[in-house]
Amino acid sequence: MAKTERSQIEERLRSGLRGLFSPSAPFREPLLAVLERIRHRGWSAALFGGALRDLAAGPTVVLPRDFDIVVAGVSLPALETAFAGEARRLTRYGGLHLLVGGVRFDVWPLEQTWAFRECPGREPTFAELPRTTFLNVEGVAVEMTGSGAGTIHDGGFFEAVLSRTLEINLEPNPSPLQCVVRSLVTAARLKFSLGPRLTRYLATHAAGLSPVDLVEAGRGHYGQHSWDGGTLRAWLESLREWDMTEGEAVLDLASLALSRARPSDTSELWRQADESGGGNTVPTETKGRE
């Protein structure tokens, strides 16, 4: 990747982050409240994953649905004490689901990241954290400092945005059905192609899944959104019928001839995917302003 191209993507990401903390941003006060609670106790934190993807990977900058914050050197009981008034429940993966000022946060100890616990040989650091995501486009973490965004750690994110190709970052995952749906929805919303490993994964893991299975898997990740299971199923059938002898070629999902799905169905899925990402532009600060 050319240095100038990476720099442009990084500046877009930093601009989006500055926008989150601008006076007019709807997330500003809740974000500041959560981060200040963490800093007050001397802990280090990083923003991670999907929110950063939404800020910098798509055709437009959109408001994230929620925020993942990973905290280093802290136990889960200590986090529970710190956020006793905001914690709504424990997540499936060993963290806290918070609701602060109407904004949703998933906050967990760095060492409790699923891949660090379940995949031997991975050191629990912020630098290694982006290599634990299933999708490459979510492989990014930004350390948060007292003045805003600090060091950016990359685990495939920049290459994904540059090539506009969705690919597997780390295959082991506790929720393969959700990985199938998230991959399709993410590719549709970002208009990314599918890499060869991800195409084979989808074709393999989607065998026998009904439209109802896909809708339920999507609801498990996206909450109340009801995805068009028939369109998702048609997409997967097209992947299974794709000539896998093409080897390492990437697959342009948007250009597939979906014989079982009407164009309006596909457009509706894209619309729902856009809505899941927020659908609104994040204010951006004047260049150079922190």
Q: Which one of 159-173, 228-242, 244-258 scores highest in mean pLDDT?
A: 159-173
pLDDT at 234: 75
The predicted pLDDT at position 13 comes to 94
Are 140 and 16 in the same domain?
Answer: yes
The conformational region for residue 94 under phi > 0 = left, psi -120 to 50 = alpha, else beta, is left
| Helix boundaries (H) for 120-259 | 157-163, 176-190, 196-205, 211-222, 229-241
The span from the CA of 172 to the CA of 86, in Å, is 31
Do 155 and 202 lie in a common domain?
no
**What pTM was estimated for this model as a whole?**
0.81
Q: pLDDT-based confidence at 161, cuts 50/70/90?
A: very high
Q: Are 156 and 187 members of one domain?
A: no
Calpha distance 133→111 (Å, rounded)? 15
Among residues 130, 163, 196, which one ends one of the domains?
Answer: 163
Q: Is the pLDDT of residue 273 over 70?
A: no
Judge whether 286 lies within some domain: no
In angstroms, how far is the first alpha carbon of the chain from the final one? 27
Together in a domain, 95 and 158? yes
Tell me, yes or no, whether 181 and 255 share the same domain: yes
Q: Is position 31 within any domain?
A: yes
pLDDT of 43? 96
Q: Which of 85-89, 117-121, 126-130, 257-261 has the lowest mean pLDDT?
A: 257-261
pLDDT score of 97 more than 70 = yes
Which residues form the domain of 139? 3-163
Task: Answer yes or no: do 156 and 191 share one domain.
Answer: no
Please tell me whether residues 88 and 184 are part of one structural domain.
no
Q: pLDDT-based confidence at 120, cuts 50/70/90? A: confident
Name the pLDDT band for 11 (thresholds 50, 70, 90).
very high
Confidence of residue 208 (pLDDT cuts 50, 70, 90): confident
Considering its fold, how many domains does the chain have in total? 2
If asked whether residues 12 and 153 sit together in one domain, one would say yes
* Residue 290: inside a domain: no
Same domain, 36 and 132: yes
